[in-house]
Amino acid sequence: MKILIKKGRVIDPRNGIDEVLDVYVNGGFIEKIDKHIREKDHDVEIIDADGLIVAPGLIDVHVHLREPGYEYKESIKTGTMAAVKGGFTTVVCMANTNPVNDNKSVTEYIMKQSKAEGACRVFPCGAITKGLKGIELAEIGEMFEAGIIAISDDGKSVRNSELLRKALEYTKLFGIPVISHCEDEDLSKGFVHEGKASIISGIDAVPSIAEEIIVKRDMALAEYVGSPIHLTHLSAKGSVDSVREVKKRFKKVTCDTCPHYFTLTDEETLSFDTNTKVNPPLRSKEDVEAIKEGLRNGSIDIIATDHAPHDFTSKDVEFNIATSGISGLETAFSLSLALVHEGVLDLSGLLRKFTEAPAKAFKLPYGELKPGSAADIIIFDPAARWTVDRNAFISKGKNTPFHGRKLRGKNLLTIVGGKIVYREKTP
């Protein structure tokens, strides 16, 4: 398939591009990027991108595709279809499937299923410990051979520091990062952020320090061992401050946050809407501002979705027993464009969080636009206004606190490996 994208404003942070250019795609790769590319063949699809942004396909380093085991919540097929709608061309899926992705059989299944049914590129994240139980290391080497690109017990912190140290040491063999879910279990016996809102609602609360303390511990261990560590879904000011400090001397630390942590505050939980229940919980206004500042000053490298789709009944219960998580793939990029509209980041800076930075942290050969690179491309309109409608989600997970929210900026077209896999239907 040949595609010629005409007159789009091409932005690629990795290669320092930000100008109106044409992009020519041929055979799954970008063949040429230039000011005026003439169509040579008859079988070229020409896309007029005048007034739109052409960017590398987005990379999401934290999604839950739920397959195998929880296909009623999401499948690789529906999850990746939601991904490409949201502008993502590569996703890293977490290991808390059923069975857990703690051995090569599960990894191979995910790889195979992704190739067969995935709408975008899928890279599995293996478990750190068998069964995510935090007792003994999973078969990391075998999973690496099968295709994992990182390890994480996401959903749980590795409570045993010695075991985490071993994981950090062992992964040196493969050169993959450990993704850390930063949460002190003993301090986390709650469902919302500990602050004024939790005082009002009376819901058992989790203090910021529950995250901050593990951020410090895990960075200290990684620095001691000298291994790369990626801290995921950071939500608290103290975490951002710690990362900024450690990054000054230890360069193997990267981290991400999610759109809900810079968009919503814990006040949302006063509605008892279970769609606002996430882990870590929505934090205070001060934390939200710190996350934005962390994104601005570079302390936070990456924006991920922590796409956590759930079936309706898991959320249609009392707040305390509802499952945690937001179905985020279809709203994340549009929500993040608010950072540009607010002046926190420029477009290139925002795109870096979704492309160059995750590609670098996870050693993925994607996230850039240059001749010879994979044709993973999105075209979006940063000014398009639309209203979130969870019923229009492709994801099986309709759990979003953003239903009805008016957003500015939308992905219109997604190309993965030179093929158009998503195209916004115009009314």
**Among 22, 306, 376, 381, which one carries the catalytic annotation?**
306
Nearer to another protein, 254 or 276 (CB): 276
Kindly state the smallest distance separating residue 286's Cβ from another protein, in Å. Answer: 12
Task: Give the chain's length.
Answer: 427
> Encoding tokens for residue 61?
């380093």
User: Min. distance of Cβ 310 from another protein in angstroms?
Assistant: 15
278: tokens are 């996430």
- Residue entry with tokens 């490409």: 84
CB atoms within 10 A of CB 23: 26
Residue 227 to residue 167: CA distance in whole angstroms? 10
Q: Which amino acid is at 349?
A: G
State the nearest-atom distance from the C-beta of 333 to another protein, in Å: 31
Closest approach, Cβ 311 to another protein, in A, equals 13
CB of 241 to another protein, least distance (A): 19
**Closer to another protein by Cβ: residue 22 or 211:** 211
Q: Single out the residue of 42, 49, 58, 61 nearest to residue 2, CA to CA.
A: 42
User: Could you tell me the smallest distance in angstroms from the CB atom of residue 196 to another protein?
Assistant: 4
Active site residue 22: no
Interface residues toward another protein, by CB under 8 A? 194-196, 198-205, 207, 271-272, 313, 316-321
Of 345, 367, 346, 350, the C-alpha closest to 358 is 367
By beta-carbon proximity to another protein, the closer residue of 207 and 259 is 207
The minimum distance between CB 360 and another protein, in angstroms, equals 39
CA distance 173 to 171: 5
Q: 161 or 271: whose CB is closer to another protein?
A: 271
To another protein, the closest distance from the beta carbon of 318 in angstroms equals 4
- Distance of alpha carbon 331 from alpha carbon 402, whole angstroms: 8
Burial (CB count within 10 angstroms: exposed 0-12, middle 13-18, buried 19+), residue 387: exposed
Task: Please list the active-site residues.
Answer: 306
